[in-house]
A and B are shown apart, each in its own frame.
Chain A
Amino acid sequence: MGEPLLSIDNLHVKFARSEDEVYAVNGVSFSINENETLGIVGESGSGKSVTLMSSIGLLKENGTITAGTANFQGRDLLKMHRKQLEDIRGRDIGVIFQDPMTSLNPVMRIGDQIMEAMLTHHYAGRREAYDRTLQLMHEIGIPDPKTRFRSYPHEFSGGMRQRIMIAIALACEPQLLIADEPTTALDVTVQMQILALLQDLRRQRGMSVVMVTHDFGVATNFCDKIIVMYGGRIMEVAETDHFIRETAHPYSIGLKRSIIEIGHKGKEILPIPGATAAITEEPAGCPFAPRCTYASARCLQEVPELRPFGTDHQIACHHAEEVVSLVR
């Protein structure tokens, strides 16, 4: 494994609201290696999407990065000027978003929207960019690319529009693809089509993919490595096989137990008590402590740092060992 493609260190992000402030990301550190699929899993409000969006400068207006670095190819993205970031976005890092219905420009032909990235980054001349767009459209499964080049987004279904989003993201052959809940808004059969397409494209191009999702099933089947996030911090990092064999963090365990799956009929499902609430004060101790059945006084004051827990497995919990023995 060479030097990691993107490594984020001690990232803190805050959002200003009319009456209070929300601590969305509270010290997140992880890295993505080349040709790797990383799954970042968590419920809404866990800060999974904010972490990635802030690292490439797509933070909402009321958000501010208060600390941390994001090294990509030896340069810190967080210290970059807007112009430099614009060169990287779309060329070296591609992004796919959640809702295909609203993520395409309604008054611009889809062919032009795919070609725009190539022309902006002078990746190819107009003629060559046109041919490459047709080729890309064919590759992602859009029938009759030549005529459909001139169609507009409202003439396509949700699944097709997500394919167009993928074509846009891959236009300049980026090394890293960030997929922010790419299949959440799609039906299950369409989701499978998109995941299959993403897997083929990734393998052909040796591209790294970061998949942000709340769906454990998608993450554990699609990604090589899993990161579980809660309350703006990383709870657990593990190779997927290790994660499946032995989930160690109380939150991950609780989450896996509370998901209803095929074949669970009649089985008693134990929900995690309470619900995720936005953190509006300076976080102290483990964010999951208020809802954790194994929480001790220490969990409330001292923030558990990520520490190794067996090979290719890290955990941020003071009592991981006891928890695992109890659960086994």
Chain B
Amino acid sequence: MASTAAAARTELAVKKKSKNRSPLYQGWKRFKRHRLAVIGLVWVSLFFIAGVIGPWVAPYDYRVGDFLAINQGPSLKHIFGTDNVGHDMFSQILYSVRSALIIALGATLVSFVIGIVLGLWAGLRGGIADVIIMRAVDFMMTLPGFLFALILVILLGRGYWSLILAIGIPGWAGYARLVRSLVLGMRNGEMVEAATALGASQAHIARRYMLPNVVGSMGVALAFGIPGDLVQIAGLSIFGMGLQPPIPSFGNMIAQASDNILGFPWLLYFPAGIFALTLLSFLFVADGLQEAFSPKGGN
């Protein structure tokens, strides 16, 4: 018996317990190699910080319009210039970051929660529940979420909460389908079979076996989801169904800019530029996460 222990020892050079061997750390190492993802992460964090402290830092109150300085180009007083009512564009953008974040995160959360619940239910329970939920997913997938959002906005109105629900509710199908496929893949796999053989309850299996292996893919889905919702919010405003002015939002600013683009182009540069850069950063972060947690790349 001793010979096998000795033999096993020679093959194995296992270092002491250290955090730098966990799959999470391996994932982070792969994420860091994706330079654009890191830059994206920096911008996204800035965007979040702006969202939180924005209103206190903003030089001007978004409601106050300086009638003497209507439609001025970028200047020391107004670094991003002013719009046709004299609002300082820089402050407007800072406020819009907050409103965009609140709605986008809220909507993504709503879609995510509904998606996870229904996805897990369909994946774990199977049978009719699975069939019904999957038909519902197909139904939601046939028409673009934006259409449902429009109808919901009419029903619920254009306040923060109604916009969160309007964009959030139609967005659940993607997350549900992803969770269901992940759960189904694992449920028939040997890892869950082995845990069941150990006598683990379904709750224990879901918590300790399924969840840790789902988090990665969910993170990627969320990272793609948030920019999607940002676009939906702006899209609603362009359509005239978004946040009602005077609450500043990227959609309204871009819509306003497009009306008098020929005269005052800077009205477009800053809001559209920052908005696009933010979307791009989210996508880079998502791309980096995919690289870090992609099943093809191993864990």
Q: What separation, in Å, do the CA atoms of A277 and B12 have in the docked complex?
A: 10
B262 touches A (CB below 8 Å): no
The smallest beta-carbon distance between A279 and chain B, in angstroms, is 13
The smallest beta-carbon distance between B294 and chain A, in angstroms, is 15
What range describes how many residues of B lie at the interface? under 10
For B11, list chain A residues within 8 Å (CB): 274-275, 277
B6 touches A (CB below 8 Å): yes
Q: What separation, in Å, do the CA atoms of A290 and B6 have in the docked complex?
A: 13
> Could you tell me which residues of chain A, from 274 to 292, have a CB within 8 Å of some CB in chain B?
274-275, 277, 290
A273 to B, closest residue via Cβ? B7
For B188, list chain A residues within 8 Å (CB): none
B142 touches A (CB below 8 Å): no
> Could you tell me which residues of chain B, from 211 to 242, have a CB within 8 Å of some CB in chain A?
none
Contact with A along B1-37 (1 / 0, CB 8 A): 0011011001100000000000000000000000000
The smallest beta-carbon distance between A292 and chain B, in angstroms, is 13
The smallest beta-carbon distance between A89 and chain B, in angstroms, is 28
Contact with B along A244-287 (1 / 0, CB 8 A): 00000000000000000000000000010111010000000000
Count residues of chain A with CB under 8 A from any CB of chain B.
6
For B10, list chain A residues within 8 Å (CB): 273-274, 290
For B6, list chain A residues within 8 Å (CB): 273
Contact with B along A274-317 (1 / 0, CB 8 A): 11010000000000001000000000000000000000000000
For A274, list chain B residues within 8 Å (CB): 7, 10-11
The smallest beta-carbon distance between B196 and chain A, in angstroms, is 28
For B7, list chain A residues within 8 Å (CB): 273-275
B7 to A, closest residue via Cβ? A273
Q: What separation, in Å, do the CA atoms of A290 and B10 have in the docked complex?
A: 9
For A277, list chain B residues within 8 Å (CB): 11
For B4, list chain A residues within 8 Å (CB): 271
The smallest beta-carbon distance between A278 and chain B, in angstroms, is 11
The smallest beta-carbon distance between A80 and chain B, in angstroms, is 33
B33 to A, closest residue via Cβ? A18
Q: What separation, in Å, do the CA atoms of A277 and B11 have in the docked complex?
A: 7
Q: What separation, in Å, do the CA atoms of A273 and B5 have in the docked complex?
A: 10
Name B residues whose Cβ lies closer than 8 Å to a Cβ of A. 3-4, 6-7, 10-11
Cβ contacts A to B, 12 pairs, < 8 Å: A271-B4, A273-B3, A273-B6, A273-B7, A273-B10, A274-B7, A274-B10, A274-B11, A275-B7, A275-B11, A277-B11, A290-B10
6 nearest CB pairs, A to B: A273-B7, A274-B7, A275-B11, A274-B10, A274-B11, A273-B3
